Amino acid sequence: MYILIINAGSSSLKYQLFNMPAPEPLCTGLIERIGTDHSLIRHTVPSRQGNPVFEQNEPIASHARGFEKLVALLSDSRFGVIRHPDEIVAIGHRVVHGGEGFTQATLITPEVKEKIRSYFPLAPLHTINFTCIEIAEMTFPKAQQVAVFDTAFHQTMPEYAFRYAIPEALYRQEGIRVYGFHGTSHKYVSEKAAAWLRKPEAKLISIHLGNGCSITAIQNGRSLDTSMGFSPLAGLVMGTRSGDIDPAVVFHLMANGYSPDEVYTLLNKQSGMAGLTGFSDMRDIKKLRDEGNPAAELASELYAYRVKKYIGAFAAVLNGLDAVLFTGGVGENDSDMRARICRNLDFLGIHLDPDKNKTSGSGLREINPAQAGVKILVVPTNEELEIARQSFALLETD
């Protein structure tokens, strides 16, 4: 069953085509800098000998134009993997916000679209997901459309974990509560880890570190608590987001002339590592740190310290710990940051093996000493495969 996975950002379009239930993609692609004159298209075909790659810079004015390029590449005589777009049975979409209404993958109907639209005020930066659903419906009229929600995995949190201490009417009428995000990633890596541990009931702390960062307490495959909250702004320090901050800072800024939009932009796009160092990419910050830049050193310590605090809190939530999981671009590749985070957590049974930590590799790997009570695992995430699996399972039972 051919299932195309769409993961859209505000100026990007990632895709993978699977022939489910096989877990290896037939092709993968990324269109970056949509809406500029310097858009980049990169399409690879790992299912074919030689792993052919198509790469081109050209203006891509919109996501709709990106879909046109995607369709052409899927059936291209050299780089294509299907004969005709109608061979695709389903399109699986990453949708950031599913509110309380969606706890699992869902077939997209007019009613479902209306409900997704109702959550726009909760995630105003991520309405492009909805736009791409509508583009996909026009581009692939014979395919079924499936929505997989970032928030769905966290719908197992107990009420005392997801409620804020504010008047109940704000929860009941306005939906103000902890939703949590990165759920598709946390679900994927926690299932991989539990299978590797041969312990489905494992107590896990999953740490997703990329440009966006979150940490989740998981037991028996269920999310018990998570660092992101009503929006993806809460919790850990991120590339451009502040993470946790005293709400009084917002009032102070507005009293000093900032508009709500300016505060929103400040905390979401100009803070985090970018606010502390001028750079949001951890690779740039590491280079500065290696050059002795004090701002980069402070930012790195602050970043690690925030993660460390959440590890301690979530170990208490779980009443024990079987494994700590590192995933995401930074979590998987930055050995120095992993070492900073795990330093002085011996009392929890968290010990890092320095040599294993510095040894790069693909696939799930263990970076703790052999006899450690708590496993420390690097688990590469694969949100597209997880979306494909959930879409396939839904269609098989429909």
**What is the set of active-site residues?**
150
Can you read off the two tokens belonging to residue 172?
């009941």
57, 100, 156, 362 from 169: Cα distances, Å: 51, 16, 22, 48
383 annotated as belonging to a binding site for a ligand: yes
Strands 203-209 and 213-219 turn out to be antiparallel
Query: Following DSSP, what letter does each residue of 333-376 receive, concatenated?
Result: H-HHHHHHHHTT-GGGT----HHHHH---SS-EE-S-TT-SSEE
281 annotated as belonging to a binding site for a ligand: yes
Backbone angles phi, psi at 163, to 5 degrees: -85, 145
331 annotated as belonging to a binding site for a ligand: yes
283 annotated as belonging to a binding site for a ligand: yes
211 annotated as belonging to a binding site for a ligand: yes
379 annotated as belonging to a binding site for a ligand: no
301 annotated as belonging to a binding site for a ligand: no
330 annotated as belonging to a binding site for a ligand: yes
* 225 in Cβ contact with 157 (< 8 Å): yes
282 annotated as belonging to a binding site for a ligand: yes
48 annotated as belonging to a binding site for a ligand: no
126 annotated as belonging to a binding site for a ligand: no
In this structure, the number of other CB atoms found within 10 A of the CB of residue 167 comes to: 11
E-state strands within the chain: 2-9, 12-19, 27-32, 40-44, 53-57, 90-95, 106-107, 144-149, 203-209, 213-219, 222-226, 323-327, 365-366, 375-378
Output the known binding site: 7, 14, 94, 208-212, 281-283, 329-333, 383
Output the known binding site for ATP: 14, 208-212, 281-283, 329-333
Output the known binding site for Mg(2+): 7, 383
Output the known binding site for substrate: 94
